[in-house]
Structures are given as structure tokens and as C-alpha cells.
Amino acid sequence: MKYMLLIHSGRAIRDQFNKLSEVEQKQLLDEYFAISQEPGVLDGNQLHLDDTATTVRVQDGRTLTTDGPFIEMKEALGGYLLYEADNLDAAIELAARIPAARMGGAIEVRPVVER
Amino acid sequence: MIAALVGYLGDFDLAEEAAQDAFAAAAERWPRDGAPASPRAWLVTTARNRAIDRIRRDRTLAAKLRMLDSPKSAEDDSVESTFPDERLELIFTCCHPALALEAQVALTLRALGGLSTEEIARAFLVPASTMKRRLSRAKRKIRDAGIPFAVPAEHLLPERLAAVLAVVYLIFNAGYGGRVDLAAEAIWLGRALAELMPDEPEVHGLYALMLLNDARRDARIEEGELVLLADQDRSRWDAGETARGREALEHALALGGRGPYVIQAAIASVHMAEPRDWRQIAALYDELVRLTDSYVVALNRAIAVGEADGIEAGLALVDQLDRAGYQYFHSTRADFLRRLGRADEARVEYERALALTHTEYERRFLQRRAAEASR
């Protein structure tokens, strides 16, 4: 099965990260890199902070754009991983290894609809 | 190619899916390993194999989801059920932490306990339609989110087993007053688990705890009034259940069990011996406080210390646990004060506890005690 791991890691975690020593920062980045290299990880990216977001709606054929994310959250979506795994347990285990999960963020695990 | 596959599989949708699978596999492999000598034959064979995998997967999935609906047969009193090999997988699926606790409880009762949706709804005082939705949503999540139908891997087992035991114990404790005998269901589940996981001390510990508590059920209420253990008519305790409970406890201890359920069962067992060894009970609560860090457990430890080392010592501990607004803090304190002859203070505490109680039994019990304090 494929799972989308939505990494809720926003400004507060970014601030935390910036306060860390260079060595600690490198450790965290290494952890993210190691996770991205796990077998089954098909794709993954970090996103710019949610103040760069643009939200698009179409009403009566007109495209409406607004500045900012669809939903304001303390820890907004900060990245994602697409993970091919046997089952939810495997996806949960990978999610639990993502540093944001222990830094006050959260990982939402969503199964991908397969056709 | 599709035609060849439809002929072989007899299902157009499946054939198309299989063909897509095969092309995807080709796109991944051919650039890496080079194209095969006969690409068409390779594609057809690969598609066939993929289709067979799909059918197998769908079949087992369908069979497993069906198991969530197939209750144990009503007349089947033994633990042997219609699916002896996969009950353990089933209970770990039902009690998966990715499901809401109320859904875990409902699924477990439905799939393993064999209760009807209506019975479960009645037991938890929700409309049948609500329970039906809760169950179908849980089953849909199991399927769509890929909640495994398996006993968890070794490194996940302690945590996941604790979740299963918590669900069973919750069912047991929900068993008072309902029209459905949930306590009996929970004991049945406990026995099944003990058979399926014979080497896990906590499983035997929970089974023992439920039996020992249930054994006193008939003696606990007399003429509509709550009766404390010390005042209970022991002849009304279920001797068979007591013996089976003690046996399960011995077994858990022999396996080296020192977990929270084993200790709670040990406490229940010492409580039921005559005379009660309060010093041992206090020591067991010591251990339980360390394991669970629970306020209620600490309060019970204070009660045991009060009995073992004198009421003053117990009261001193209760005072350290100060939690105004918590019913059992006030009722415990009231009881110690009453026994020390500090009637006025006791009355105040009884009043506070009375204001917080929700059950009629407890209300009448506290009123009786408050009256005694005034004498």
C-alpha cells in the first residue's frame, strides 16, 4: 500500500531548529536524509513556510486566489513523504522516526487511493 | 494482450488492471535490465501473475473483513470458535491503536464476543444506528488504511498487548448494570487470550483479576445497598471463580509476572484471604504506584497503610495526596477522620464527597457513614 505522510512542522519547529548548535542541526538533517533513503520511500520534499502559500478557489468560473494557507495551524504542513509499505504499522513506524513528530509537530498518515 | 488476459481471467476490469500493472513493471525493469526477448509474452505472463496476486489479496482481505462480522456461535460455550487459528490476529486488529477506543471496544465485542450491534449499542447506551455507523467506519478504516491483520512484531508487542488488555478490562468494568453481561464477555475474552498467549504473565494476570472481582459480584450489593468487602457475606462469593482466579494468578506469578494486572490480581487475592494481610497489600500497592504512577492507586496505598500502620499514618499520606474536588480523596479522608473520632471534620468531608458522587449506591453509603460519624 502507499501512504502519504503529511509532516506538520511549521514555524515553531523551524525556530527550535535555528536555536540548535550546528552539530545538532546536522544530526537532525542526517535523520531526515536517512528516512528519505529508506526502501519504500518513493518521494518526499520539504515545503517553504506557510506564509508563502497561495490558496486557490474557483467560483462561478472565476479563479480566486488568497494569500496564505487554506487552514491556519500552529504546525502547518511543512513537508511530505510518499511511502510504499506493507501495512499501517510500517507507516506508523516510519512516521515515528521523523524528527518533527517529537519536536511538537505531528505526522498525519493517509492511505493513498490505488486504482 | 487485454483479450488474452480477459480470456484467462474472465474479468475485464481485472484484466485491465493486470495489464497496467505489467506495463508499470516493464517501465521500471526494462530500462534497467534490458527488454526481454519476447516482450509480449513477458507482459502477458507478468500480467497474469499480478492478477493472481490481486485476486489472492482481495480474497484474503474479503475473508478477513468477513471475520469481523462472524460472531462465535451462540451455543459454543468453549473457547474453540469457528476460526481457531486467527482469533489472535483478529483481536490485535480490533484493538489497533489507530482505531478510536470506543471503536476498538465495539469491534472486539462484535467480532470476538459475537454480540449483535444492537446488544453493543444497548450496553453502551447509544442508539443502534450510531453503533452501526461506528462499526462500519472502523471496518472501512481497517480496509482502507491497511491496518494489518497480524500479531504485531516482537518490538511492538508489549505496547500493543497492553492496548488489547486495556480494551478487555474496560469491557469488564463496563459490565455493571447493563442489560448485556459484559463482565462475562470480558472474562470469556480473557480466557481465550490466556489460551492463545500462554507465556504472557499479564494476560493471566488480567484473567485472574477479572475472575477474583467477579467472584464477589453477588455479595457486593445487598438489599440495594453497597457492601464493603469486610462486611460481605463470604458464602455468597463464587468459590469456583475464586479458585480459578487464584490458579490463574499462581500461573502468572510462576511466569515471573510483575506487571500491573498481575499485581492488581495479587491485591484482590490477598483482600479475599482471612485475615487480610494489610502489610502485604500496602507493599503490593507500593509496587503498583511505581508501575502506574496513578493517583487512585496512591490513594488506595494510603488506605492500606492506614490499616497496616495505624489510621494516623494513613491520614498523613492522604493529606499529602491533597486533591480537593476528587470524590475519593474526600471520602477516604472522611473515613479516616471518622475513625479517629474527629466527627466535625469527618462530616465536612462526607458532605464534599456526597456533592461529587453520581451513583445512588454511593450516595446512600456516604449518607449512612456521615450519620455514623455524628453519633
Instruction: Give residue-wise pLDDT tens across range B286-303.
Output: 999 999 989 999 999 999
Number of separate domains in chain A: 1
**Rounded to 5°, angle at Cα B27 from B26 and B33:** 70
Q: Is the pLDDT of residue B84 over 50?
A: no
The Cα–Cα gap between B332 and B334 comes to 5
Of A85, A86, A89, the CB nearest to B156: A89
Considering B108-117, B203-212, B215-224, B360-369, the range whose residues carry the highest mean pLDDT is: B203-212
Give mean pLDDT, residues B17-22: 72
Rounded mean pLDDT of B316-325? Answer: 93
Asked whether residue B56 carries a pLDDT value surpassing 70, the answer given is no
Q: Is B13 on the interface with A (CB under 8 A)?
A: no
Tell me whether residues B145 and A86 touch, CB distance under 8 A. no
B99 at A interface, C-beta within 8 A: no
**Inter-chain contact A88–B98, Cβ cutoff 8 Å?**
yes
Region B191-198 average pLDDT: 93
Instruction: Name the closest residue on chain A to residue B17, using Cα atoms.
Output: A115
Could you give the ipTM of this predicted complex? 0.87
Range of the domain at A55: 2-111
- Judging contacts by C-beta atoms under 8 Å, the chain B residues touching residue A109 are 145
Q: Is the pLDDT at B353 greater than 60, yes or no?
A: yes
| Cα B94 to Cα A26: distance, rounded to the nearest angstrom | 41
Cell representation of residue B347: 462530616
Chain A residue numbers touching B145 (CB-CB < 8 A): 88, 109, 111
Say if residue A31's pLDDT is above 90.
Answer: yes
How would you classify residue B369: left for phi > 0, otherwise alpha for psi between -120 and 50, otherwise beta? Answer: alpha
Which residues face A8 on adjacent strands? A77, A106
Q: Do B98 and A92 touch (CB under 8 A)?
A: yes
Mean pLDDT of B295-318: 95
Beta-carbon separation of A88 and B145 below 8 A: yes
Q: Which pLDDT does position B35 carry in this prediction? A: 75
Whether residue A24 is predicted with pLDDT greater than 80 in this model: the reply is yes
CATH number of A44's domain? 3.30.70.1060
User: For position B14, what pLDDT does the model report?
Assistant: 65
Q: Residue B208: CA atoms inside 13 Å, Cβ hemisphere, count?
A: 29
> Residue B219 in contact with residue B276, Cβ under 8 Å?
no
- Check: pTM over 0.90? Answer yes or no: no
Distance in angstroms (rounded) separating the CA atoms of residues A92 and A108:
9
B17: pLDDT strictly greater than 60: yes
Nearest residue of chain A to residue B21 (CA atoms): A115
CA A28 to CA A98: how far, in whole Å?
Answer: 9
* pLDDT cut 90: percent of chain B above it: 59
Q: Is the pLDDT of residue B183 over 50?
A: yes
B144 touches chain A (CB under 8 A): yes
pLDDT band at B372 (very low <50, low <70, confident <90, very high): confident
Whether residue B26 is predicted with pLDDT greater than 90 in this model: the reply is no
Mean pLDDT, chain B, whole residue set: 86
For residues B33-52, average pLDDT:
72
- Assess whether pLDDT exceeds 80 at residue A5: yes
